[in-house]
Chains A and B, each alone.
Chain A
Amino acid sequence: MIDRRSPTRRLLEIDIPVLCIVAFALAPYAWMIATSLKLDKEIIRWPITYWPETITFDHYRFLFSRTTFGNNLVNSLVVALGAVAVGLSVSVPAAYAFSRFSFFGRRFLLVQFLVINMFPIVLLIIPLFVLMRTLGLIDTYLGILVGHSTFAIPFSVWMMTSYMNSIPRELDEAAIVDGASRLQTIRLIILPLTMPGIVTTAIYIFVASWNEYLFAMMLSGQNARTVTVALQLFIGEFSIQWGLLTAGGTVVAIPVTILFLLVQKRLVGGLTAGAVKA
């Protein structure tokens, strides 16, 4: 489409409105970072200052030296990596079956993985809490991991199936003709070609688990507490210390922002091709 609008009109009709939307999308984030860099006395001053007068890292120093935040970060990392491991190890073989075989119940089972992804979280969190309590798994990595696999598995089965469907079947048929066994075909053809899909799915599971709050809160105590739960508890404990809270928020938000920006193009492709295909 040829755009015949003058540069000034384009500025008014495109650049400035887009700038407003981007500003709206980023303003709360920017405000959180700005607050975390201000001195306490500046944070509580009215009328407020928009740009920090003096930049300080005191809140970050306090966060890591005087609170449990460092341990909570490690807990979140362990749980998220565990969720990635569980999600991928069961979903890659399942996706291979869905993509490369036709068998009785295939369509029914594939649809089930979509349906269970739509279950309300309260439908699962209530029985899982009772179950974990009976098994003595409250406040363990394993307990939270079980909670997180309820969303990691259905999602990655669906994503990986759509990625594997995009690899031409002729490639594995050619390998079989050349005398490769099924496992060799998977190792030499399927896995290398789906690697971008596997990485995207892994990063998505990691971000979803890192961000998760309800399961982590319900199933953890002091030992296995993740950052999201710790941050929420800080709101009560350090009630109006917004410098500390925003510093914690910034530390939690930055890794997921970077990971998400790295994969967003491919993730959107997978989502629109798989789950949101119209």
Chain B
Amino acid sequence: MALTPYAFLLPALLVTAAVIFFPVLQTLWLSLHNYVLFRPRNVPFIGLANFARAMSDEVFWISLRNSLFWIGLVVSLQFLMGLCAALLLNQSFWWRGIARSLIIIPWALPSVIIGLMWSWMYDFHVGIVNDLFVRIGVIGAPVAWLARPDTALYAIIVALIWQGFPFFTIVILAGLQTIPDELYEAAEIDGASRWQQLGSVILPSISGIVTTALLLRTIWVANSLDVILVMTGGGPGYATHTLPLYAFVKAYSSMEFGYAAALAVILTGLLLAVVLSYVRRAAGDLR
């Protein structure tokens, strides 16, 4: 009888061990070896040499810097835009239901489609971004947004903000709906302006849910590489290389699985603090 719950859990545990736990161990093993895919019989143990190599690898540091810049900018702008949208959608107006549904659509789309539609809009010759910017006079002549080292990363950041802001809108809206009307009324009686209400009623009430959402989003953005891969493949040069992308490229293009595994382990290690604080918050009220 005491074994019954484990019997129900067994399939999930076995499959998870096979598809996640075992591969993660294998990554750790790979990271300590010089494993190149087309030399499967010659896999020498090299200790921490892959990690030492990363420390003196210029591209690793470029990717890390890009990653930090990219996470900071994408997450904070997604949050700001999501907050604005949520505050607007929390007011009552007759088409609120439709607006709430439509605004989520970018979040549901595959990253390949996001890369495709934004690459098309950034197109040098007949892209709509160049067309609009030339029409309103922001730029004099068309710009090759994704091919220039100084604009490529920003161009992808805009696409990512577009994709991710609905997540914050949804989560913040859910938080806003838990604020009782009496709090607003009390603030209004005390003569608080709308801005003062934002600072002293709304933001403190949703700070818990916002922190959780920021942590979760940081993890997702830090791990995501598919949109960059589709739009620029990391180029031009290393201008849009992020850490997960560099690890992926090392495995996929150079077939250096040992070094790629070490890069993946470093990324996981760097994220560990964020993951742990997220898990602590999310699991805090487990029954």
Write the residues of chain A forming the contact surface with B, with a CB cutoff of 8 angstroms. 1, 3, 10, 14-15, 17-18, 21-22, 24-26, 28-29, 31-32, 35, 43-48, 86, 89-91, 93-94, 96-98, 100-101, 103, 106-107, 109-111, 113-116, 118-131, 133, 146, 149-150, 153-154, 157, 165, 182, 207, 210-214, 218, 228-229, 231-232, 235, 242, 245-246, 249, 252-253, 256-257, 260-261, 264, 268, 271-272, 275-278
Give the chain A neighbours of B6 by CB distance below 8 A: 97, 103
A213 to chain B, nearest CB (A): 5
A selection of 26 A-B contacts at a CB cut-off of 8 Å is A22-B103, A25-B106, A26-B102, A28-B117, A31-B128, A47-B135, A48-B131, A114-B283, A116-B16, A118-B219, A121-B244, A124-B19, A126-B247, A129-B251, A129-B257, A130-B37, A213-B112, A232-B115, A232-B116, A256-B108, A264-B108, A272-B171, A276-B171, A277-B212, A277-B282, A278-B212
Given A97-B5, A116-B20: A90 and B171 within 8 A (CB)?
no
Q: Which residue of B lies closest to A149 (CB)?
A: B19
Establish whether residues B108 and A260, one from each chain, have CB atoms under 8 Å apart when the complex forms. yes
Query: Can you list, as one digit per residue, whether each of B1-30 has a CB less than 8 Å from chain A (1) or not (0)?
Result: 010111011011101100111111011001
Looking at the complex, which one of A25, A229, A246 makes contact with B120 (CB distance below 8 Å)? A246
B33 to chain A, nearest CB (A): 11
**In the bound complex, CA of A21 to CA of B279 (Å):** 32
Establish whether residues A97 and B8, one from each chain, have CB atoms under 8 Å apart when the complex forms. yes
Give the chain B neighbours of A232 by CB distance below 8 A: 112, 115-116, 230
Residues of B267-281 contacting chain A, CB below 8 A: 267-268, 271, 275, 278-279, 281
Given A94-B12, A96-B8, A127-B24: A277 and B285 within 8 A (CB)?
yes
Q: What is the interface residue range for chain B against chain A?
A: 35 or more
Main secondary structure of the interface of B (DSSP, over half): helix
Given A18-B93, A29-B105, A123-B265: A211 and B111 within 8 A (CB)?
yes
**B144 on the interface (CB 8 Å rule)?**
no
Give the chain B neighbours of A113 by CB distance below 8 A: 16
**B91 on the interface (CB 8 Å rule)?**
yes
A-B contacts, CB under 8 A, total: 292
**In the bound complex, CA of A278 to CA of B99 (Å):** 25
Leading 10 A-B pairs by shortest Cβ distance: A211-B110, A278-B209, A278-B208, A260-B108, A94-B12, A101-B5, A97-B8, A127-B26, A127-B23, A97-B5
Give the chain B neighbours of A211 by CB distance below 8 A: 108-112
A221 to chain B, nearest CB (A): 14
Give the chain B neighbours of A249 by CB distance below 8 A: 113, 116-117
A89 to chain B, nearest CB (A): 7
Given A123-B268, A154-B16, A261-B104, 4 additional A-B pairs, CB 8 A: A28-B106, A94-B8, A123-B24, A130-B257
Looking at the complex, which one of B35, B37, B279 makes contact with A111 (CB distance below 8 Å)? B279
Establish whether residues B118 and A90, one from each chain, have CB atoms under 8 Å apart when the complex forms. no
A209 to chain B, nearest CB (A): 10
Residues of B132-185 contacting chain A, CB below 8 A: 135, 162, 166, 170-171, 174-175, 181, 184-185
**In the bound complex, CA of A107 to CA of B279 (Å):** 12
Give the chain A neighbours of B113 by CB distance below 8 A: 32, 228, 231, 249, 252-253
Give the chain A neighbours of B92 by CB distance below 8 A: 3
B229 to chain A, nearest CB (A): 8
Looking at the complex, which one of B109, B263, B283 makes contact with A110 (CB distance below 8 Å)? B283
**In the bound complex, CA of A216 to CA of B212 (Å):** 30
Establish whether residues A278 and B93, one from each chain, have CB atoms under 8 Å apart when the complex forms. no
**In the bound complex, CA of A245 to CA of B117 (Å):** 9
**B286 on the interface (CB 8 Å rule)?**
yes
Establish whether residues A111 and B283, one from each chain, have CB atoms under 8 Å apart when the complex forms. yes
B165 to chain A, nearest CB (A): 8
Give the chain A neighbours of B22 by CB distance below 8 A: 127
Establish whether residues B265 and A264, one from each chain, have CB atoms under 8 Å apart when the complex forms. no
Looking at the complex, which one of B16, B91, B162, B244 makes contact with A122 (CB distance below 8 Å)? B244
**B88 on the interface (CB 8 Å rule)?**
yes
Looking at the complex, which one of B99, B111, B119, B216 makes contact with A213 (CB distance below 8 Å)? B111
Given A115-B275, A126-B251: A21 and B162 within 8 A (CB)?
no
Q: Which residue of B lies closest to A111 (CB)?
A: B283
Looking at the complex, which one of B5, B114, B211, B223 makes contact with A120 (CB distance below 8 Å)? B223
